[in-house]
Amino acid sequence: MTLRIELSQNPTEEQRKAILEPLIAYNDARTGGSTSEPFALLVRDEHDAILGGLYGRVIFQWMYIELLCVPEQGRGQRIGSELMAMAENLAKEKNCLGIWLDTFDFQAPAFYEKLGFSQFGEIVDYPPGHSRHYFQKRLKG
């Protein structure tokens, strides 16, 4: 079999799945399964419009918080802390070992540290002049 590599600058969802599916199969064979359980905590206004919230998933007994957005009008009202507490309670209900997330230096590293998260990684100059920080909080063990 002859293999070749080509660049696709506008990859389709079909191309993404063609790469993802064998990777998931490989991972599942070594881990016993990688079922991902997405969830969202929504911040709504009085008209039911979604203004922010928290989006994450549970996989491999860890909760990954992908998105956290506190709307401007909700800042300083402990909404971010409440969202994180609700996510942590959900993680405990699902018997997660911990929670992990990433944030930029201009977002909320100090907020996560205040909530008991510890930094386990950093990419300097991502984006240039800033840093991306990776945090975790172990819930068990």
Give a yes or no: residue 8 inside a domain. no
Q: Is residue 126 part of a domain?
A: yes
Give domain status of residue 24, yes or no: no
The domain tally of the chain equals 1
- 11 assigned to some structural domain: no
In a domain, 7, yes or no: no
For tokens 């929670």, the residue is: 99
Structural domain span for residue 43? 34-138
With respect to residue 4, please indicate whether it lies within any of the assigned structural domains: no
Tell me, what DSSP letter sits at residue 135? E
Whether 86 is in a domain gets the answer yes
Q: Could you tell me where the DSSP H helices lie in 1-141?
A: 13-31, 79-93, 109-114
* Structural contact between residues 83 and 99, judged by C-beta atoms closer than 8 angstroms: no
Q: Dihedrals φ, ψ of 28, to 5°?
A: -60, -40
How many beta carbons lie within 10 A of that of residue 100, not counting itself? Answer: 19
pLDDT, tens digit only, all 141 positions of the chain: 999 999 999 999 999 999 999 999 999 999 988 889 999 999 999 999 999 999 999 999 999 999 999 999 988 899 999 999 999 999 999 999 999 999 999 999 999 999 999 999 999 999 999 999 999 999 976
CATH number at residue 89: 3.40.630.30
